[in-house]
């Protein structure tokens, strides 16, 4: 079965990064796509860049129940329903434990975890009643699977996203709606990826090229991930061919967390 499945989709964080890349791919497949973002300047720029009749740009603050509900209602009105939700909005904060500011902790948890909950809750009725097998795809992280120093709020939120994914998969299963999670390693070309790269540059004194070469050397497949790698996984979960896959947290990280090429001497 073809992986190209037109959808009526809402993408949070849709004005940049994985959200924007997913929106572009879905529009190319003939989908009706709403991109929701709290950054209005980026939202306008994304709308100009995509420039598609099936695109609906929406101001969306995923930390607000009212905003999430308004975005879902707008999708229902414009598209006549909703059968896919991609939760891509996310932020990160770096700080060692004793220097974490409470307001920064709360903000990361609100955007990265509560935002997923609120948007899933707001979209639930339309997804159940869409007339086809609906889809939710949440964006996790390699930090959904392993703890990393100085990003404890991000790890807590992204571990929580996997928990929500598995819990919601059970709740939606009677309605044929699947709920899955894509857990990528960092992609340097996204906005968050650039922020992380700059943090590593400032803290290590190394050039971006040196940092990227070092991270690639740690990945068994021998390269850093691209946005396309992540989007391809998202599209798989959105496709009709993934009907029998739900509650999965899929690593898209070149084997970083699960294997090594060096132990066999393959890349010595």
Please give the positions annotated as active site: 154
Q: How far, in Å, CA of 54 to CA of 8, rounded? A: 9
Contacting residues for 155 by C-beta, under 8 A, at least 6 apart: 143, 144, 147, 148
Q: How far, in Å, CA of 165 to CA of 178, rounded? A: 9
CA dihedral 3, 143, 161, 258 (to 10 degrees): 50
3-state secondary structure 91-160: CCCCCCHHHCCHHHHHHHHHHHHHHHHHHHHHHHHHHHCCCCCCEEEEECCHHHCCCCCCCHHHHHHHHH
Beta bridge partners of 58: 36
- Strand, coil or helix: 49: helix
DSSP states of 201-236: HHHH---HHHHHHHHHHHSTTSS---HHHHHHHHHH
142 neighbors 184 (Cβ within 8 angstroms): yes
């Amino acid at each position: 079965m073809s992986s190209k499945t037109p959808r009526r989709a809402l993408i949070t964080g849709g004005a940049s990064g994985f959200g924007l890349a997913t929106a572009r791919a879905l529009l190319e497949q003939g989908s009706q796509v709403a991109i929701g973002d709290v950054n209005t300047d980026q939202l306008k720029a994304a709308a100009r860049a995509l420039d598609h009749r099936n695109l609906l740009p929406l101001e969306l603050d995923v930390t607000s129940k009212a905003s999430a509900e308004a975005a879902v209602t707008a999708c229902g009105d414009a598209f006549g329903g909703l059968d896919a939700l991609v939760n891509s909005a996310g932020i990160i904060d770096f700080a060692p434990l004793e220097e974490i500011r409470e307001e920064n902790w709360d903000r990361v948890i609100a955007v990265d975890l509560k935002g997923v909950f609120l948007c899933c809750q707001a979209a639930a009725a339309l997804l159940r009643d869409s007339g086809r097998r609906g889809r939710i795809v949440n964006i996790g992280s390699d930090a959904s699977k392993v703890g990393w120093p100085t990003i404890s709020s991000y790890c807590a939120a992204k571990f929580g996203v996997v928990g929500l994914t598995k819990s919601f998969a059970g709740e939606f299963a009677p309605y044929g709606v699947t709920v899955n999670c894509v857990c990528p390693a960092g992609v340097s070309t996204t906005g968050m990826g650039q922020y992380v790269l700059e943090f590593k540059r400032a803290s290590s004194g190394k050039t971006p090229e040196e940092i990227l070469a070092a991270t690639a050397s740690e990945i068994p497949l021998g390269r850093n991930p691209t946005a396309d790698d992540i989007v391809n996984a998202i599209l798989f979960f959105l496709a009709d061919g993934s009907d029998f896959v739900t509650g999965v947290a899929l690593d898209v990280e070149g084997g970083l967390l699960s294997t090594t090429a060096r132990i066999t001497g393959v890349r010595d």
